[in-house]
Amino acid sequence: MEKQVQKTGFLRKIEKSTLWLLLLLIGLVVVVSIAAPKQFVTLANFQSMGFQLPEFGIMSLGMMICMIAGGIDLSIVGMANLSGIVAAAFMHAVGVDSTAGMAGGICLALVVGMACGAFNGLLIGGLRIPAMLVTLCAQQIFMGLGLVITKGPAIAGLSEAYQVIGNGVVANAIPIALVLFIGVAVVLFFVMKYTVYGQQLYLLGSNPVASRYSGVNNIKVIVKTHMISGLLAAVAGIVISSHYGSAKSDYGSAYTLQTLLICILGGISPVGGKGKLAGVVLAIVIIQVISSAFGILRVDSFLKTFVFGLILIAVMIMQYWAGSGSKKIKTTKEKQIG
C-alpha cells in the first residue's frame, strides 16, 4: 500500500495490470518486428491492421460494458449482422446510389441494434433471466431474422459511397473505420468515468443488491447497458458490411470468442464490477498484432483458433494464481467494509 502512495504523477494513475498489458504489447511488437521486419514494419501492414481492428474492437467495447454490469453479451455478432443486413436491405429498397437512402439505412441499422439490445436488456433485467442464457438464445433469433431477410445468400452490390466507411482513408493514411473506433472509445471513456450512469454501471456489477438499496433502478441500468452494446454492435455491423461490400447473417462468427478473450485479457472481471477501458483497448491492439503476425507467417486460421483458446485459458489460470496469492488481503478488506 505504502509503495503505491509514494509513486507520483503518471505512474500512479496507471494500474499495475494496464502496465503489464502495455509491456506485453511492446514486447510482442518488438518480437514480430525482429522476426519479420520487411512485412511487419510497413505502412501497408499498419494500415491493414487499422482496417481490421475496428470490426471486433467496437464489438469488444460492447462486450466490455455488459461484463462490467455483471452479465455477458453473446449476441453481439448476431446484432451486428442483423443491423448490417437491415441497412443493406433498406438501401436496396430505396435505391442503391441515393445519399438519403444511405443515411436512412445507417440510422435504421443503429435503431435495430438498439432495439435488439433493449430486447436483451428487458428479458435480463425485467424477467431476471441470466444474461448468458438470454443472449445465447437471442443470437439464434437475430441470426434467424437476418436469414429471413436475406433468404440465405449475402445482400451484395452496395454503393461506393457506403463502402467508403469500411475501406476509405483520411489524410491519405488513416482508415476512417479506425477514426470511428477511436471516437467510440473516447465517448465511452467519458460516459463510464464522468456520468452518473457510469458509476451506476460499476455499482450494479459489483453488487446488485447494494445498488438497488442505494436507489438505483437496476432494470433501467441493465436495459441501457444492453442498448449501448446493441448500438456498438450496429456500428460494427455497418463497418463490416461496408468493408465486405455485402451483408450476410454468418459473417464474423469467430468474433464472439475473440471479444470475450479481449475483455478477459484486458482485465475485465467475469463476475462484474471491475475493469478499465484502457486495458480493453490495449488488449484489442494486442490481439490485432497477434492476428497480423499469423497472417505474415502464413499460419492457417485453424491454428489461430487454437492459440486464442490457449491464451484465454492461460490468462484465466494466471489470474487465478495471482488471485490466490492476494486472497488474504482481500478477505481482511472485505471484513473492514462489512
Partner 1 sequence: MNQQAKTERIKNIFSSNQMIVIYIIAGMLILIAGINPSAFGPATFIDTGRSMLTMLMFALCEMIVIISGGIDVSFPAFATFCMYATTKLMVTAGIDGVLLSFVIAGAMGLGLGLLNGFLVGTCKIPTLIATLGTSSLIHGALLSFVGVNDITNLPPQMDEVGKQYLFQVQTDAGVSSMSIFIILPIVLCVIVWLLLRYTMLGRSIYAIGGDVNSAQRAGFNVKRTQYFIYMFVGVIVGIGGMTYTLLARNANTTQLMGSEMMVIAAVVIGGARITGGHGNVLGTILGVALINIVSNNLIVMGVPTYWQTFLIGLLIIVGVIITSVKAKRVALAPKI
- How many helices (H) and strands (E) the chain has is answered by 17, 2
Between 130 and 157, name the residue whose CB sits nearer to partner 1.
130
Q: Kindly give the interhelix angle for 76-94 and 255-265, rounded to the nearest 10 degrees.
A: 130
The string of DSSP letters for 142-175 reads HHHHHHHHH-SS-B----HHHHHHHH-EETTTEE
Between 22 and 129, name the residue whose CB sits nearer to partner 1.
129
Pick from 262, 258, 287, 288: nearest CA to 275: 262
**Encoded amino acid at 102, one letter:** M
Min separation Cβ 71 and partner 1, Å: 11
**277 and 64 in contact (C-beta within 8 Å)?**
yes
Between 29 and 149, name the residue whose CB sits nearer to partner 1.
149
Min separation Cβ 257 and partner 1, Å: 5
Min separation Cβ 248 and partner 1, Å: 12
**Encoded amino acid at 256, one letter:** T
Between 42 and 326, name the residue whose CB sits nearer to partner 1.
326
Between 107 and 310, name the residue whose CB sits nearer to partner 1.
310
Binding site for partner 1 (CB under 8 A): 72, 123, 127-130, 132-134, 136-141, 143-145, 147-148, 150-152, 257, 260, 264, 270-271, 300, 302-310, 312-313, 316-317, 320
Min separation Cβ 108 and partner 1, Å: 19
C-alpha cell at 73: 453479451
Min separation Cβ 176 and partner 1, Å: 31
